[in-house]
Amino acid sequence: MIDERDILRFCLKKLKNQKEAVETAVYMREPWTVHFYKEGIGGKKFVVNTMLGSRLAIPGLIGEIFLEEERELSKVYEGILRCISNGKNKPSEIANTLFSRKLIAKNSPTTVQQYLVNLSRIGLVERLKVFGKKGSLYKHISSVFELYFYLDEKYNFSEKILNRKFVEKVLEQLLPKQVEDFFRNLLSKVYGLDKAVWVTRDYDIDIVLLRFKKPLVFAEVKKVDELFSKLKGKKFLIVPHEDVLEVEPKNLAILTPRDTLKLKYTCAGEGI
């Protein structure tokens, strides 16, 4: 996988529209997707070209990853990847779904734990901390694989050709979260801090960076509320371009995609 900063820099040079550059970068982190890039055509069009052009090849790519690890892509592993694509990303939710599909013998998070560890080690999923709680979430590392399994779970993508407009409409449901994942990774590397999310009854913050257990950086993509602006720490609102906001929020910094590349790298959040 290409580093988020490197691929974003490349896409910003190729595309004038910063929003389309980010959408392209989210999927072009995987070098093989460059094959589907055409000069000046980015964003959702590029993603749809990639998905329709590789629909039959993606299962083989996933199978090859397991062969390299001397493992077989079993129905349990595939079931977990499908669960995570479908928003069931807690071990308890995954176990419950696999048990209902008769893929595991016991409906318990411990039953799927070693599978999740293996998928993390292989590089297909990552474990994401939930700030203030003991639990964790699991997310796809590959946006391409995430969208593929989502399309296949809901619309039988592997066996049925879907039209471009339909795939783009489905993509719009996943892309906002994938963009958040992209910038969480990018900011984590800039500041050398651990990634997390913060989920409460009152609000969710999708980008939280921790030094050990202490939150130092918060960020949102395109939206903030009053509670967010009251948090103590470095706060960012990431927007697709400078004039997207009618009123500039107080007590936080506004970043465009280009601005994120100007942030100074630190070691474990030094100076924050």
Maximal CA-CA distance, the chain: 55
Question: pTM for this one?
Answer: 0.93
Cα-based distances in Å from 190 to 6, 52, 152: 12, 34, 35
- Distance between alpha carbon 137 and the CA centroid of its chain, in Å? 12
pLDDT score, position 75: 93
CATH 1.10.10.10, applies to 59-155: yes
pLDDT score, position 132: 83
Local confidence band at 226 (pLDDT 50, 70, 90 cut-offs): confident
Where exactly are the structural domains of the chain? 59-155, 191-260
Which two structure tokens, joined as six digits, stand for 146? 């995430």
Which two structure tokens, joined as six digits, stand for 141? 């590392």
Indicate the range of 124-128, 174-178, 223-227 predicted with least confidence: 223-227
Local confidence band at 76 (pLDDT 50, 70, 90 cut-offs): very high
Instruction: Check whether 225 has a pLDDT greater than 90.
Output: no
* pLDDT tens sequence across 96-132: 999 999 999 999 999 999 999 999 999 999 999 999 8
Instruction: Check whether 222 has a pLDDT greater than 90.
Output: no
Q: Where is pLDDT greater, at 40 or 250?
A: 40
